[in-house]
Amino acid sequence: MNKGLLNGHPKGLYLLFFVEMWERFSYYGMRALFVLYMIEYLFRDYTDKVLATERAGLVYGLYTGLVYLTPLIGGYIADRYKGQRKCISFGLILMVIGLVILAISDISILYKYSFPLFILGLAFLIFSNGFMKSNISTIVGMLYGDDTQKRDTGFTIFYMGINIGALFSPLVCGTIATLYGFKYGFLAGGIGALIGYIIYKIGEKPLLQEHGLLPYTDKKDENSENIDKPLTLRERRKLYALFILMIFSVIFWLSYEQAGSSMMLFAQYESNRFINIFGHSFEMPAQYFQSLNPLFIILLAPLASMLWTFLNSKKKEPNSVVKFNIALLLISVSYLVMSFAGYLAKTHTVSPLWLVVVFFIATVAELCISPIGLSLVTKLAPVKFASLVMGCWFLASFAGNFGAGMLAGNYAKISHDVFFLIIAGISALAALVLFILTPVLKKWMGKS
C-alpha cells in the first residue's frame, strides 16, 4: 500500500487535519455564542434570570450531549451502508445549513419564531456531527494500518487540527457577534464549514485513496467472510476494557465541559475583563476565554507527542489506563483551583488569571485522555465495527456533556465555590476507582 509519507505520516492525515480544523472552527465558534445568545436574546423577556440560566444550561447540555450521541448512528451507517467518506461529505453540508438557520433565528422581525428556528438549526448541527466525528477519526486510524505506536502521535497531530480551529473560532465569531450581532457570528461559522467541505472534496480522492471509500460489508478481501463471525474471547475482553474506560471518560467530560456553560458565565459576570493598553481601557469579550484551551493544546500537543515517543523509546511510556487516571486527577485539581476563585468572587470580581490557570491544567488533562482515547478505539475495536465502536466512544461524551449541562443549570442556585468543589470531588473519586481497576484493565487490553 502506498502511504506517501510526509515526515513519517500519511499525506491523508494532513487533509483530514485541515478539514477537521475548519469543522471545529464552526462548532466551537457557535458554542462560544450559545449560552449568551440564549440568555441575552432568546430568553431576554425572562424576569427570573435564575430560570433563564437553568433553561439555557438544559438546552446547552442537550445539544452538546446529542452531538456525541449521533456519531453512533453515523458510524453504523458508514460501516454497513455508505462508507466513511460519503458520510463526512454529507455531515459538512448539514453543518453549513444548520449555521445559516441559526443566523436566521437572530433576525428581529422573526423573533416569535426565533426559538423554533434555533432548535431546527441545532438539529442540523447535531446530525452533521453524527456523520462527521466517528468517521473522520476512523479514517485517521485506517491510514496507519498496524503501526500502533506512530498512531498515537498521528492522533495527537490530528488533535492539533481540532484545536487550531477551536482557537480562532471564539476570537473570530465572538468578535463579529459582539460588534455586529449574533447572526453574523453564526454565519462566520457557516463559512468555515463551507471552506472545510471544499478542501475535503479537492483532496479526498488523491490523498485518501481507498481508505473509507466503501462500507466494511462491501470490501472484497479476506475479511469479508468474517463479517458475521463471533468475536473471540480476546476481542471481547478488549471491548470490555474499552467500554469500562468509556464510563470514566463520562466523568471526565462531565467536569471538563463546564467550559462553555458555568465557566463562560463565571468569565462573563465574575471576572474582571478590563484590560488597560497604553492608557486605553478595553473590556475583553467573555468568549475569548474559550480560546485558551485550544491555544494550550496547540502549544502542548507537540510536547506531549515528543514525551510519549521518548518514554516509549525508553520502554517507560505509561499505559493508556494510567493516562486516563492522570487526566481525572488533573481535572479534579483544576476545579479545586476554580473553587477557590469562586470563593474570592463572592466579594469582588476576580483576575482573569484564575481562568488561565484552570484552563491550562484542564488542557494537560485533556491531552492525557482525548487523543489517547481516539487512538485506543482504533487499536481495540474489531475492524468490522470500527466506526460503530468509535460512535460508542462519542456516546460516552454524550453522557458527559448532557450531565455537564444539567449540572451547569444549577450554577445560579449553588454557591459557586461549592459548585466547583463538587465537580472536583466527583473527578477525584472516579480516579480512585479507576486506580483500583487498573491491573484488570491492563490485562484485558494486552499490549495496546
Report the DSSP pairing between strands 280-283 and 5-6.
unpaired
Q: pTM for this one?
A: 0.71
Q: 5 lies in a domain? A: no
- How confident is the model at residue 226, as a pLDDT? 52
Task: Confirm whether 280 is domain-assigned.
Answer: no
| Phi-psi label, residue 214: left if phi above 0, alpha if psi -120 to 50, beta otherwise | beta
Residuewise pLDDT in 10s, the chain (448 residues): 444 444 677 888 889 999 999 998 998 888 888 888 998 888 888 777 778 878 887 888 788 778 878 888 888 888 888 888 999 999 999 999 999 999 999 998 888 899 999 999 999 999 998 898 878 988 988 888 766 667 767 887 888 888 888 888 888 998 899 889 999 999 999 999 999 999 999 999 888 888 878 876 665 454 445 555 777 788 788 888 888 999 999 999 988 888 777 888 888 888 888 877 776 777 887 878 877 888 898 888 888 878 877 887 888 888 889 999 999 999 999 999 999 999 998 888 888 899 999 999 999 999 999 888 877 887 787 776 767 787 788 778 778 877 887 888 788 788 989 999 999 999 999 999 999 999 999 888 875 5
Residue 221 lies in a domain: no
Classify residue 278 by its DSSP letter.
T
- Backbone CA torsion sign across 191, 196, 197, 202: positive
User: Rounded to an integer, what distance in angstroms lies between the CA atom of residue 14 and that of residue 209?
Assistant: 14
For position 447, what pLDDT does the model report? 59
Say if residue 439 is exposed, middle or buried (CB neighbours under 10 Å; 0-12, 13-18, 19+). Answer: exposed
Distance separating alpha carbons of residues 255 and 259, to the nearest angstrom: 9
Residues 6+ apart with CB under 8 A from 248: 324, 328, 430, 433, 434
Residue 255, domain member (yes or no): yes
Residue 241, CA atoms < 13 Å, CB-side half-sphere: 28
pLDDT of residue 218: 60
Are the beta carbons of 251 and 403 closer than 8 angstroms? no
| Separation CA 376–CA 48 (nearest Å) | 46
Name every residue whose Cβ is closer than 8 Å to that of residue 183 and which is 6 or more positions away in sequence.
Answer: 102, 103, 104, 105, 106, 107
Query: How would you class 371 by CB atoms within 10 Å of its CB: exposed for 0-12, middle for 13-18, buried for 19 or more?
Result: buried
Spatial CB neighbours of 304, under 8 Å, sequence gap ≥ 6: 156, 367, 368
Q: What angle do CA 387, 376, 448 make, to 5 degrees?
A: 130
Alpha-carbon distance of 363 to 177, in angstroms, equals: 26
Instruction: List, in sequence order, every residue forming a beta bridge with 353; answer none if it has no partner.
Output: none
Q: Which domain holds residue 332?
A: 11-216+232-274+285-445
The CATH number assigned to the domain holding 25 equals 1.20.1250.20
Closest by CA to 332, choosing from 358, 300, 354, 350, is 358
For residue 288 the three cell numbers come to: 475569548
Give domain status of residue 225, yes or no. Answer: no
Q: How far is CA 114 from CA 29, 31, 42, in A?
A: 19, 17, 7
Phi, psi of 106 (to 5 degrees): -95, 5
The number of domains in the chain is 1
**Strand partners of residue 10:** 5
Whether residue 171 is contained in a domain is answered as yes
Count of positions (residues) in the chain: 448
Single-letter residue type at 428:
A
Q: In this structure, is residue 322 part of a structural domain?
A: yes
Residue 258 lies in a domain: yes
Distance CA 305, CA 300 (A): 9
